[in-house]
Amino acid sequence: MKRQQFVTRLVSFAVFIILEAASLCLITNNSSLQRIWVSKAGHSFMGTVWGASQGIRNYFSLSETNKQLSQENYELRRELDKANVQLRQMNADSAVVSSRPGFEMIPAEVVKISRNKQHNYLILNKGYADGIKENSGVVARGGVIGIVDAISEHHCFAFSFQNSDVSISARIGSEGSSGLLIWDGIHNAGAILKELPLQSKYSPGDTVYTSGHSLLFPPDIPLGIAGKAKVVNGATNQVSVSLFQDFSAIRYVTVVHNDAFDEIEEFME
């Protein structure tokens, strides 16, 4: 009985489909307006089906698209990092040693630095293969960093200014007296300008510069701000100096070498 009912329903459904198809044919053949309506309905249905299938394809292609975008972002980040490195090096160079005739200038990066000793040092990523020479100064945007002491092919070793054995010639103001500037041995930005003549005049807040009397550094590099003074042994003045350079944040530096160093040294032998 059930089988007979199933067959009856199947036949009825088939007849319904045939009649619907025949009706559709009659409508489209007998009326242009109805034919256009049916065509539009068919196109709409096809568009819906195509859009759905295209959406499915797009969904499954998202993984590959995201992978490509991720790779492109990675490449862009690498290019941006390179550009930032070059810009920082250019800024470090131009801020300190621009227009310094008679001095060769080579940008470098600090790869190691010590700061917790009385004899601190730096190691830079440039050596004699890059043109670095002994008896060169190391400077950065904040002032003098140190002095090159030893060189390998691709690296060099420099004594930091924060070293009790390092001193540089410096003066107070644009026309002031010169003395020896040394690290105070305690503070990150602390220094002492000593051996100034008693008659030298200055005011707290004056800028301290390299004097140019040293063969290692060009003149007029700003180093820090003069503070309080005191008389030492009744013979010279000693002035505290607050350095511009933050030695805890050194990365890019410039190695400067006096082109006339060897020639001048011959007169001093």
Q: What is the pLDDT of residues 72-94, one digit of tens each?
A: 665 666 666 555 555 555 554 44
Pairwise CA distance, residues 141 & 72, whole Å = 35
Pairwise CA distance, residues 76 & 68, whole Å = 12
Given this model, what pLDDT does residue 25 score? 60
- At 214-253, the pLDDT tens digits run 889 999 999 999 999 899 888 889 999 999 998 888 889 9
Percentage of the chain modeled with pLDDT above 90: 39
3-class SS of residue 147: strand
Nearest partner of 159 among 187, 129, 126, 123, judged by Cα: 123
Identify the helix (H) or strand (E) that includes residue 251: none
Residue range 138-142: mean pLDDT, rounded = 90
Pairwise CA distance, residues 146 & 128, whole Å = 18
- At 160-191, the pLDDT tens digits run 999 999 999 999 987 788 999 999 999 989 99
Cα atoms in the Cβ-side hemisphere of radius 13 Å centred on 216: 23
Higher pLDDT, 200 or 131: 131
Given this model, what pLDDT does residue 93 score? 45
Given this model, what pLDDT does residue 82 score? 56
Given this model, what pLDDT does residue 85 score? 52
Whether the predicted model's global pTM rises above the 0.85 cut: no
CATH of domain 102-268: 2.40.10.340
Nearest partner of 261 among 98, 102, 140, judged by Cα: 102
Q: How far, in Å, are 123, 166, 188, 243, 268 from residue 118 at the CA level?
A: 17, 11, 12, 17, 30
pLDDT at 46 over 60: no
Strands (E), the chain: 103-113, 119-124, 137-140, 143-151, 156-163, 168-172, 178-183, 190-197, 207-210, 222-232, 236-243, 252-258
Confidence of residue 30 (pLDDT cuts 50, 70, 90): low
CA-angle at 241, arms to 235 and 245, nearest 5°: 145
**Crossing angle for the helix pair 2-30 and 32-97, to the nearest 10 degrees:** 90
- At 90-135, the pLDDT tens digits run 554 444 455 466 889 999 999 999 988 889 999 999 999 999 998 8
Q: 77 exposed, middle or buried (CB, 10 Å; 0-12, 13-18, 19+)? A: exposed
pLDDT at 60 over 90: no
